[in-house]
Amino acid sequence: MRTLTSRGGVAWRRRVVFVLVFALLIAVPIVAGALGQPFYIRLFTRIMILGLAAISLDLLLGYGGMVSLGHAAFVGVGAYSVGILAYHADNGGRLFGLFGGSDAAWIVWPVAVAVGGFAAFVVGLVSLRTRGFSFIMITLAFAQMIYYFFVSWQTYGGDDGLQMMSRNRPIADFTNVQFYWLVLVCLLLATLLVDRVIGSRFGMVLRGARQNDRRMRAIGVPVYRYRLAAFTLAGAIAAFSGVLLANSETFVSPATMSWLRSAELIVMVVMGGMGTVHGGIIGAAVYSLLELILGNYTEHWQIIFGPFFILVVLFARRGFLSLVLGESREG
């Protein structure tokens, strides 16, 4: 009875934290306008986009037990899909001699998400046949192949990246504040989607496979197919974060998909709280704010951040969110 009561209390506190997180995000434009600091609009827009990517990774890492060191590649695929189609819309020509360009969001965004999901499906077909360290290395290898593919593609800027003329239509004329609200709505919908997926039978199977995949297979559950579906969904959501990132910065770069970016996403998930859906948003905020604050004092800010991250791992078993929820004490 005590365990059930404890879990019910944690679930209630999670809902409260969820509401508070989005209430704070809603307040950002109001506070930034009152202070006359538009910089915070851009900062928290980026935080929300990174939070969306972290949420997609948490679906794999926190709920599926799949440590992917190449997840940022799907963010980059989504961003480049937007950039390449916009490039051909502005300059003419066809991609691979077959496809024309477009800067219309209702065309580009679904295409980018589909391309990212397909890339994740192909990577997952091979990677998910392995476990543990082998899985980590294979996802890293695929990510590096994608990274070097775009680095060598000189038509679209190569290592220098690709500059976009403007955001996709019809948001090309959006102010930074209007775009902020759009990103906030997308983040909210994606969070609710992932939460719904985790609470479904699909999510139960995914969590069961994380605990004991052999037992799940023994009772007839096709674990590989469930994991592949989760990997594909996570890749599609990550690609959508790349879509928003490209429209936010009107610039895409191979650096977006490097393995270092994937490692940063893992750090965000761990710091925020694995297996908590909105913990990724908190982790993205903490990481980005610490990078900004510490970076003002030294370019080697990681020297300070490293010990801080170690302390978080040691004393907050499930990230910052566990300190708020009391899960570090209640288990």
Q: Residue ranges per domain, the chain?
A: 2-330
- The predicted structure's pLDDT at residue 2: 47
Percentage above 70 pLDDT, the chain: 91
Q: Which residue has the higher pLDDT, 233 or 161?
A: 233
**pLDDT averaged over the chain?**
88
pLDDT tens, residue by residue, 109-142: 999 999 999 999 999 999 999 988 899 999 999 9
Contact yes or no for 292/284 (Cβ under 8 A): no
CATH topology of domain 2-330: ABC transporter involved in vitamin B12 uptake, BtuC (1.10.3470)
pLDDT tens, residue by residue, 232-278: 999 999 999 999 999 999 999 999 998 999 999 999 999 988 888 88
pTM: 0.92
pLDDT tens, residue by residue, 83-115: 999 988 877 767 665 667 788 899 999 999 999
- The predicted structure's pLDDT at residue 96: 61
